[in-house]
Amino acid sequence: MKQELIELRKKMQQTGIDVCYIPMDDFHQSEYVGEYFRTVRFISGFTGEGTLVIGLDKAALFTDGRYFIQAAKELNSSGIELMKMGEPGVPFAEDYISELMPEHGVLGFDGRCVDDRKGKRLQTAADKKHGKCLDTDLVGAIWTSRPALASSRVWILEERFSGESAEHKLARIRSRMQEEGAEYHIITSLDDIAWLLNLRGDDIPCNPVFLSYLLLRQKDAYLFANPADFDEETRSYLTGLGVHLEAYSKVYDAAAQLRDGTMLLETGRTNYRLVEALDASMQVIDKPLPTSVLKSVKNETEIANEKKAHIKDGVAVTRYMYFLKHAFGQDGRITEHARKLLGTDRLTEISGAEYLERLRREQDGFLENSFTTISAYGANAALPHYAPSAAQDTELLPEGMYLVDSGGQYFEGTTDITRTIVMGPISEEERRHFTRVCQAMLRLGDARFLKGCIGVSIDYAAREVFWKEGLNFNHGTGHGVGYLLNVHERPNSIRYRVLEDPMQNGVLEPGNIQSDEPGIYIEGKYGIRTENLTLTKEAERNSYGTFLCFEFMTMCPIDLDGIDVSIMEDHDIELLNQYHKTVYEKISPYFAGEELQWLKDATREVCK
């Protein structure tokens, strides 16, 4: 049994806690978290995404299909059972809590690491056993060598990038507060704060945000963050905005001191402890964060910048495609030139991804990757969220297909692109599936729809080609994308099922940027995905209403070696040729010589 688990249980007994709930979350409901928050790994040894439920005798880790094999290995002899979520007979974490909780028992969890809605559900689980919840950071109490909270310089995003001053954004949010009758407004979602204040940081890998809470009033605001991360310039910038800088952890006391007011917040995006800290005299107005809706509608400056970012990004990925297409010699072995570019003798999922990152770094204004690159060769690509590791880093060969899903953070915006590259001979079936994925992506990009539609109303444009053949892909077709912020952003999305939270099914608005990424995954064989980002824009206004359409932002060839033109509709072929013509126009100025020749061929017009 792992020593950390033994110590945690000792602590649980000392504190009178019967069951301990440990999610892999930070205090801001962020998708990715910093080292400080890797409590699950500390206790269990498991390095993926999962949630721990620890009782005094039994303990379990809840994780999904992406991590079954890895978790089984990493949990080995840890004393923690693996719960394969979604498999038949596997309980939900909350039901498992009920199983472990004795009558009148105590359920412990760090109330900062669960959102208020989740916290209330844990409360209900405890209530069922006539027990109670204890909001405490039990892991912190035993984790002596815990990494410090992330700290990085906070910097101002200039208006030539943001397109709207923080003053103006604050005024818009304050007018929403007035409409809702709210004197106070708490925002704890990091990308919402970064957007609102036109500030960026580097506290979370791939997300240029900084740990903070924001408490807004009509006349001023309080930013709770690490003061050491703010230099003279950002401090006076904040002062100019009427924003007082306070210590990060002070937010709970500040919230607790408020009386007899109205507070706008989103319970699904604010942590349990913070909401619980509010005095009973405070009236909570639980509404979706106004910043999330406003942020998702990119302004003209952002859109113009994003187009530039996508050309840069397209150039980098296209160079990578060229590299991959020429990495192997006639003898089937990796060329001398390719070795030099890679800086190593082996072309593997990881060395390839690293080379792609270097190509992105050559682009002006590139800051970092926008998420961990999915670099997956052959059967590995059948796992939609696969990421190579030192333990599993497959070598690429001049056969089959290679999938690379990657993106960059640029001053001009955030990118996210997937291309599947044909590395050598592929089967009939592979070519048919590659073509279907391409058709689906192009058809959704060609959709036209009435304003008021949510993504569910148009998802069929992408799915039809799969469903007609009894195929499907088990992930959303599209997600919103931030501007130099999170690569996954609410509320716009494209999927075929309506989700309970309305902020996951936002009405599609002109100025939204989202992905269009159908795929197909054949277990043990291969995976194909083609992803472009699209901009939602107005197409036409007439007596029927306002019609919207998409424009492709991503500028990079789709590998024609995977395409079987004969099974495409005429209109699909038109769309493909049209797209490739635009790609060539936009990125060819950055290519020369053999690369340019190749690009010309890679974007050639095809016909039946």
Q: How far apart are CB 459 and a copy of itself at their closest, in Å? A: 6
Question: Closest distance between a copy of itself and the C-beta of residue 213, in Å?
Answer: 33
Q: Does the bond joining 398 to the residue before it have cis omega, within 30 degrees of 0?
A: no
Partnered with residue 541 across adjacent β-strands are 546
Q: Which residues bind a copy of itself (CB under 8 A)?
A: 447-450, 452-454, 456-461, 463-464, 467-468, 470-472, 474, 496-498, 505, 539-540, 542, 544-545, 547, 569
Rounded Cα distance between 406 and 122, Å, is: 36
Nearer to a copy of itself, 544 or 607 (CB): 544
Residues linked to residue 156 through DSSP beta bridges, in sequence order: 199
Which residues, listed in sequence order, are joined to residue 374 by a DSSP beta bridge?
A: 405
Q: Which is nearer to a copy of itself, 219 or 497 (CB)?
A: 497
- DSSP element (H, E) containing 286: strand 283-286
**Helix axis angle, 570-587 relative to 428-445, nearest 10°?**
80
Decide whether 322 or 449 has the Cβ nearer to a copy of itself.
Answer: 449
- The nearer residue to a copy of itself, 547 or 590, going by C-beta atoms, is 547
Residue 5: CB minimum distance to a copy of itself, A: 37
When the beta carbons of 49 and 459 are compared against a copy of itself, the nearer one is: 459
Tell me the closest approach of the beta carbon of residue 463 to a copy of itself, in angstroms: 8
CB of 461 to a copy of itself, least distance (A): 6
Give the contacts of 348 (CB within 8 A, at least 6 positions apart).
Answer: 388, 393, 394, 395, 396
For 403, the token pair is 């999938």
CA distance 402 to 419: 8
Name the minimum Å distance from CB 99 to a copy of itself: 21
Closer to a copy of itself by CB, 331 or 570: give it: 570
Sign of the torsion angle spanned by Cα atoms 267, 268, 272, 274: negative
| C-beta closer to a copy of itself: residue 332 or 502 | 502
Smallest distance, a copy of itself to C-beta of residue 456, A? 5
What is the signed CA dihedral for 291, 296, 301, 302, rounded to 10 degrees? 110
> Are the beta carbons of 282 and 259 closer than 8 angstroms?
yes
Shortest Å, Cβ 434 to a copy of itself: 18
Min dist CB 280 to a copy of itself, Å, is 23
Q: How far is the CB of 447 from a copy of itself (least distance, A)?
A: 8
CA angle 519, 367, 477 (to 5 degrees): 15
16 versus 452: smaller Cβ distance to a copy of itself: 452
Closest CB to a copy of itself among residues 362, 469: 469
- Give one word for 566, left, alpha or beta, with left for phi > 0 and alpha for psi -120 to 50: alpha
Is residue 208 packed enough to be buried (19+ CB in 10 Å), middle (13-18) or exposed (0-12)? buried
Bridge partners, 87 (sequence order): none
Helix or strand run (H / E) with residue 20: strand 19-22
Residue 201 or 455: which CB sits closer to a copy of itself? 455
Nearest to 46 by CA among 14, 77, 11, 86: 77
Please, what is the minimum distance in Å from the beta carbon of residue 84 to a copy of itself? Answer: 17
- Please say which residue, 156 or 539, places its beta carbon nearer to a copy of itself: 539
Read off the DSSP letter of residue 13.
H
What gap in Å lies between CA 122 and CA 98, rounded to an integer? 10
- CB neighbours of residue 301 within 10 Å: 16
If the CB atoms of residues 406 and 435 are measured against a copy of itself, the closer one turns out to be 435
Q: How far is the CB of 88 from a copy of itself (least distance, A)?
A: 15
Residue carrying the six token digits 């072995």: 333
Tokens of 224: 């709770």
| Pairing mode of beta strands 519-522, 545-552 | unpaired
Q: Could you tell me the smallest distance in angstroms from the CB atom of residue 466 to a copy of itself?
A: 8
Nearer to a copy of itself, 85 or 461 (CB): 461
**Strand ordering across the sheet containing 106-109:** 81-84, 59-63, 51-55, 19-22, 106-109, 132-135
Q: What is the distance between the alpha carbons of residues 335 and 348, in angstroms, rounded to a whole number?
A: 14
Residue 413 Ramachandran class (φ > 0 left, ψ -120 to 50 alpha, else beta): left
Q: Which is nearer to a copy of itself, 166 or 494 (CB)?
A: 494
In angstroms, give the least distance from the CB of 474 to a copy of itself: 8
- Cβ of 127: how many Cβ atoms within 10 Å? 12
Omega before 510 within 30 of 0, i.e. cis: no
Helix ranges restricted to H, 478-590: 570-587
